[in-house]
Structure 1
Amino acid sequence: MSQLSAESIVAAGPFSDWLRKMRRSLKGDEGMDVPCGDCVGCCVSGYSLQLRPEDHKAAARIPATFIVRAEGFAKGNLTVRALENGLCPMLDDGKCSIYSVRPQTCLDYDCRIFAAAGIDAGGEDKAVINKRVREWRFSYPERTDELEHAAVRAAATFIRDRRDSFTVRVPAGSMGIAVFAIKAYEVFLDPATSAKQEAEVARAIIDAVRAFDSNGA
């Protein structure tokens, strides 16, 4: 990771506090409060935007020509496709034109998840987000913050680099890897994990993800 000037470093907050909030967000219990500032990385990086039924205020402001039926999402959800240049169609002069009623997907998106996992958001098409990811700096007021961040990074590294150890399909994309790491990081808090066979660690990760999805954060 390249050296950054003090002016380009952005405070991400205490790590363990952020981790708890992110896990609750992944369960749908609350959204994330992201200190984006002037950054519009997620708005210029080619993301399709999911519209849930409860996003009716946002949907009413988005021209129908940009909305299509969502594939791979829950029934009733729609998708707002990015423009060919990667911009969100609701971006106007560099700012969100529906910010006050923006969809839940926008409220939930938090690129600090990539900084937590120690990975980029993607390739060149995610260059703006990657820049912000490298600028984020978590703080560690307690030893727990350091240990949990190290565990999240270890989980992400294992999921990314040890795919052959899994007997079930695991995410290959950056977001999927980061989400899996947030759900399963506790596996790497256990000192005994380092002495286990890779296949055993992989099973523990899958068990942790399934337990999270079934029982909550």
Structure 2
Amino acid sequence: MSESCGGHGHSCEGHNHNTAGGGDGKWDLYKDVDTTRCSVLNAADEDALEGVLRPWEKRLEREPMLQSDADEQLMIYLPFTTAVRIQALSLIGSGGRANPKTLKVFLNVEHMDFDSAESTAPTQEWELVPDDREGNVEYTTKYTKYQNVRSMWLFISENFGGDNTSIQYIGLKGTSTKYRREAVKTSYELRPQVADHKTENESFSRSIL
């Protein structure tokens, strides 16, 4: 029997989503997004994108709201300042007909538009849960494909029948390779070096030569 998500009778089976909060990663990869280079196509207000990339504890804030303009589709480009590993995504819409329905992700592609997004096979695709107003559902990735992500496109191809699409929060769960490199460097620096541990006999023998 399939599991019901969010009390809406939506089957979890085959949709790659779980209750948010599990796993080792943290919902803080928004810190690694290069906001000077990110962009969004078909947005009523492009500046709203940076506002919906915020801490997990602020996900329920209703403003700012990223809204599509001419129709229901949105294309969001997120480049990162360092390579990241992504375990899951969270996306909270406005609910109702304006809520995003289909999400397609393309990894490590610099340039895309709506035509290329429609004609190119995505890295992964999800059917989103309607009215997940608290971000209780996380959309798990095919993790082996998300080990060295330097940029990603999020393509909202359709909503639940509204003229426009509204998004109040985009969350990215995972780890940054930046912290791994720093940890390795620290470990190396703390490793005892032979030159730092000369014996008294070695020092004495050198002094009388």
TM-score normalised by L of structure 1: 0.24
The structure that is strand-richer by fraction is 2
Q: Which structure's residues are more often helix, by fraction?
A: 1
Task: Give the TM-score of the pair, scaled to structure 2.
Answer: 0.25
The structure that has the greater radius of gyration is 2
User: Greater RCO between the two (CA within 8 Å, min separation 6)?
Assistant: 2
